[in-house]
Chain A
Amino acid sequence: MEQNPQKDDRGQIDSADLHIGPEYAVAERDVAELLTGRVVSGSSLWRDAWRRLLKNKLAVFGMVVVILVVLGSLIGPTVIQRTTGYAYDAIPKDASLLKSFPPFRGPDGRFSFAHPMGTDSAGRDILARVLSGGQISLMVALIATLVSLIIGVSYGAIAGYAGGRLDELMMRIVDVLYSLPYVIIVIVLLALLPAKTPTAQLAQLFFALGAVSWLTMARIVRGQIMSLKNQEFVLAARATGVSTPKIIFRHLVPNALGPVIVYATLTIPTVMLSEAFLSFLGLGVRSPRVSWGSLAAEGAQNLAVYPWQLIFPGLTMALMLFSLNFVGDGLRDALDPQARRD
C-alpha cells in the first residue's frame, strides 16, 4: 500500500528521490535538541523556510541590497543635506558645480568627493535626488503592494470560499479590470480629476497602480482557497461552530500565505517598474518631487552629453529590481522546497 521511495535499477534508494515534505523536515538543531534532552519548542514551517532562504546566496545578496537601498532612501537625503548642504531640490547659486563629471571628478578634472553621481543640468546633486526618488518609488510600490495584499487577498479568499455564482461574478469583474491597461486608467484619471498639487498627483498614481495591482493576487488567493476549502480541517472548524469570516481569515488565509508572500515580494518590483514607466512618460511623479522614473526621464534628455544623469538613477533602479526579484525567487524556493527540484 504505502509507496516506498523509488528504487533505481540496482535496488538502492537514490537520495534525490527521497522527498520529504516541509512538515516532516527535521532541522539539525531540532535533532540536537532532542539528543541533548531539551524540549523541542514549536518549530514552524517559517523557521525552516527562513533557514532555507539564508542558504540561497542570491536571495541573501538581494536582501542586503534591498535593506541598504531602503535605509539609504530613508535617511540618505537628510544625511547629505546635513553634511554637504545639498538638497535634492535645491538649485545651487554656485555655477561652477554645474557640470561635474562623476564619479569623483569635478568639472576641472580634479578629484572631488562632492558629487559622487555628479549633478544634473541645474547643478543638483544626483545622489541626493536618487535617494529621495527612492523614497517615492518605494512608497508607491509599498502602497500598491499593500492594496494588493488587503484587497486582493480578501477578495480572492471570499470568491474562492463562496464559489458558485458569487465567485463567477467576482472573478468576471476582475477579468474586466484586467483587460483595461493601467496606462489608460491613469490617463483617464488625470483627465477627469486634474491634480492641482503634486501631492494630489501622487495620490492619483497610488490609486491607479493600486487599482490594478490586486487583480493577480485575487486570482492566486482564490485558487489557493478553492483547493484548501474542501480539506477536512475546514469542515472540522465549521463543525465547531466557527463563523464563515473566521474560517476564511483565520483558518484558510494563513494556509495560503506562502504563495501570497512570494507574489507580494514580486509585486513590489513590478509596481516600481510601472511607476517608473508612468513617470517617464510624464504621467507620474512631477517636479519638484522626484522618483527613479522621472529622474530617468530627465536624464534621457541629456543622454548624449551627460550620460551619468541617466546611468545612475537607472543603475540604482535596476539593482533594486534585480534584488527584489532575487528575494522573491528565494522566498518561493524556501517556502516550497519541492518545486525547486527541476
Chain B
Amino acid sequence: MSDDNGNLLSVRDLRVYFETEDGSVRAVDGISFDVKRGETLGIVGESGSGKSVANLSLMRLIPEPPGKIASGSISFDGRDVLRLSPSEIRALRGKRIAMIFQDPMTSLNPFMRVSKQLMEVTQLHLGHTKRQARAHAIAMLEHVGIPDAAERVDSYPHEFSGGMRQRVIIAMALSCQPELLIADEPTTALDVTIQAQILELIKQLKSETGASVILITHDLGVIAGMTDHVIVMYAGRVFEQAPTRELFERPGNPYTRGLLRSVPDPTEDEGTLYQIPGQPPDLAHLPPGCPFASRCERAEEVCQKEFPPFVQLTPSHQSLCHFANEVYAETGATR
C-alpha cells in the first residue's frame, strides 16, 4: 500500500527498546518515514537521539538482546523486513541495502587485505568467481577515485589514509549497486577537505546509480547540501519532518529552530554562539509530557503534562509540538 507512491522504504511506528538494568530504554519510540526512489533523506539529531539505532534496525542489525524491535513495520520494496527469515535478510544486506559507517579507521577488518574484503561482498551476493570479484574490486576502487587501484587492492587497511579508507568503504558498499545506501555520519571522522570530497563522491555515485540515500549526520551544513527531505530526531522520536528547503527556511518546531540557531555563521563575528540549554533526557525515564519541554524556550505548562501532537503543517511538513502552528507562523513572519 505504501510503496505504490514511489516509496522504496517505508517505516511505520517503529519502536526499538533496549532492556537495561535501569529499565527499558526507548531508543526509538514510534518513528515513521518514507524514502522515495532516488531521493536523499537526511536524518539529524543530537547524539543519542536514536538516529543510528533507527537505521541499524532497518537492516535488523540491532544486537538482540539487549535490543528489541518492539513494534512497527519496515517495508522495503513492498516486503516487510521484520518478517524476513535470517537468510532472506542476509541476502538483502549489502546487496540491496548497503551501509557506510562513521569511522573508516575501524570499519575495515585490519587483518584482511582490502581486496579480500571487497571480493567477499560480490562473491557472496553476485556469485562472482575469484577472478571476476577481483576485477570488480579493482574497478570499484578506480571508480571511487583510488589511484593505482590495481596495485593498491592487495594492501591492508592500515596502508590507506582515512579519506582513502572511507573511499574503500564506499566502494564496498556500492559494489552490488544497492537500491538504498545508508550513510551513518560518513564524514564525521574526516577532516573538512576530505569531507567535501567524500560527500561529492556519494552525490556523484548516487546520481549514476539512482540509488536512494539515507544520510545520518549532526552537521546541518551537510544536510543542506545533500538532501531532499529531512527528519529531525530527538529522544527517539521524529520532531519535525519537511523538505530540506522548507525546513531551513521555515522550521515549525522550537527544537529545529534551536538547532538552526546553534550553527555558527562565519559572516557574523560578534557575540557568543547560541546553544540549546540542558541535556537530552534519559531515555529510560522519559517525562510524561514533551521530552524537549525542559529545554524548550517556548514551553508552557501543557508541554510538561501532555505529550505533543504531530501537527500537519503542510502536506509534506509535520512537526511534533503543541505550538507547531504558532512556531510555523512566527518563522514565516520573520522572513
Contact = CB atoms under 8 A, between A and B. Distances in A.
Interface stretch (A40-48, A115-123, A219-227): A40-48
Contacts of A164: 65
Interface string B73-100: 0000000000000000011111100110
Contacts, number: 80
A254 B111 contact: yes
Contact of A23 (B92, B103, B107, B110): B110
A232 B188 CA distance: 15
Given A40-B159, A231-B106, A232-B103, A251 B112 contact: yes
Contact of B101 (A232, A243, A255): A232
B155 interface: yes
Contacts of B113: 42
Most buried by B among A40, A44, A238: A238
Interface residues of A, number: 27
B43 interface: no
Contacts of B128: none
A250 B121 CA distance: 13
A241 B93 contact: yes
B107 A232 contact: yes
A232 B156 CA distance: 17
B190 interface: no
B106 A255 contact: no
A232, A236, A255 interface centre (most CB from chain B within 10 Å): A236
A254 B95 CA distance: 25
B305 interface: no
Given A42-B155, A164-B65, A241 B124 contact: yes
A111 interface: no
B169 A243 contact: no
Interface in A223-273: 231-233, 235-243, 250-251, 254-255, 257
A39 interface: yes
Contacts of B172: 240
B59 interface: yes
Contacts of B93: 238-241
B71 interface: no
Interface string B114-140: 000000110011000000000000000
Interface string A40-60: 111111000000000000000
A94 B121 CA distance: 72
Interface residues of B, number: 36
B59 A233 contact: no
A190 to B, nearest CB: 43
Nearest to A21: B158
A233 B151 contact: no
A24 B110 CA distance: 12
A146 to B, nearest CB: 22
Interface in A154-176: 164
Nearest to A256: B111
- Of the listed residues B107, B108, B109, the one surrounded by the most CB atoms of chain A closer than 10 A to its CB is B109
A236 B101 contact: yes
Nearest to B92: A241
B124 A242 contact: yes
Contacts of A240: 93-94, 98-99, 120-121, 124, 172-173
Nearest to B99: A239
Nearest to A257: B111
B200 interface: no
A255 B159 contact: no
Contact of B99 (A42, A44, A236, A257): A236
A238 B86 CA distance: 12
A120 B173 CA distance: 70
A42 B124 contact: no
Interface string B21-65: 000000000000000000000000000000000001001010001
5 pairs of A and B residues whose beta carbons are closest in the complex? A240-B94, A241-B93, A241-B94, A232-B106, A23-B158
30 contacts: A23-B110, A23-B158, A40-B159, A42-B113, A42-B155, A42-B156, A43-B159, A231-B106, A232-B101, A232-B102, A232-B106, A232-B107, A233-B110, A236-B99, A237-B120, A238-B61, A239-B98, A240-B93, A240-B98, A240-B99, A240-B120, A241-B90, A241-B94, A241-B124, A241-B125, A242-B90, A243-B90, A251-B109, A254-B112, A255-B111
Interface of A: 23-24, 39-45, 164, 231-233, 235-243, 250-251, 254-255, 257
